[in-house]
Amino acid sequence: MTTLAVLPSRYSSSRFPGKPLVLIAGKPMIQWVWEATIASRGIDRVVVATDDVRIASVVTSFGGIVVITDTSIQSGTDRVAAAVEKMNCSFDIILNIQGDEPAMHPETISSVVDLMLQNPTIEIGTASCSFSSAEELFDSNSVKVVTNDINQALYFSRSPIPYLRNGQHIFKTNFSSWLLQDQLDRFQRHLGIYAYRPEALCKFTKLKPHWLEQFEMLEQLRALAAGMTIGVAKTPHLSLGVDTPEDIQAVELILAQRRSEKN
């Protein structure tokens, strides 16, 4: 089976224009994502899908491959689909690894590929990791996912799910409580990576936005609402998306910790 990884990356951003090119620990953000992807097992080809010549120039400067897509495309998934169509090649699995995830770990990427290979009935694959603090759990920028007993997604939300009816107030007021220690690992943080069967990617891009998606601002809810199956690979590696300049410091800390673990 052949696997294509597409890194959608656009220059325009209301909160952080030009963020794919911002330097993180001395490298452009998109380069970190590229290097993590090419270091992953099970990836046959990697391309960056962008609509901006500045991003394209930087990517080619470090040896990356670029597919230019239309400026009118708004979502990362639609940009991935447009890149695949433009490449006019056949792949069995297509990964969408968001270009603003510089802390994405190669093992996380590989685990999502393995998930798709081992579970042929899953239409879409993604990943999650445990939360390290209750403060993160209650942060609306941290997307949560709950799964069934065979690791298929039941729902994604910006709210803490499942609702801890008898202990939520303790979470909020006492981060060192027994609830934090004994139950925090039951909550899963969704990571910014997707894998699609080609037919699933085509089906998804033809679906109209769902009201759940619009309420939560999470496009994966469009797939769940349509009855599509989303498998979730659980990983120990945290990956933080960069939405604002303030997010860079936290990402650099993760990358520095990984470097120290290797040495």
Taking the C-alpha atoms of residue 224 and residue 122, their distance in angstroms, rounded to an integer, is 12
CA distance to 163, 188, 215, per residue, from 155 (Å): 12, 11, 13
Question: What are the structural domain ranges in the chain?
Answer: 3-128+190-262
Within 8 A by CB and 6+ apart from 169, the residues are: none
- The pLDDT of 153-160, averaged and rounded, is 96
Contact 154, 201 (CB under 8 A): no
pLDDT attached to residue 175: 47
CA 221 to chain centre: 14
Q: pLDDT tens across 182-229, in order?
A: 678 889 999 999 999 999 999 999 999 999 999 999 999 999 999 999
Q: What is the pLDDT of residue 180?
A: 53
Can you tell me the mean pLDDT for 151-169? Answer: 83
Structure tokens at 141: 């920028």
Under 8 Å between Cβ of 126 and 230: yes
User: What is d(CA 223, CA 213) in angstroms, rounded to the nearest whole number?
Assistant: 9
Distance separating alpha carbons of residues 40 and 158, to the nearest angstrom: 29
What's the whole-model pTM score?
0.90
∠ CA(194), CA(199), CA(205), 5° rounding?
65
Q: Are 36 and 75 in contact (CB under 8 A)?
A: no
The architecture that CATH gives domain 3-128+190-262 is: Alpha-Beta Complex (3.90)
pLDDT band, very low/low/confident/very high, at 164 (cuts 50, 70, 90): confident
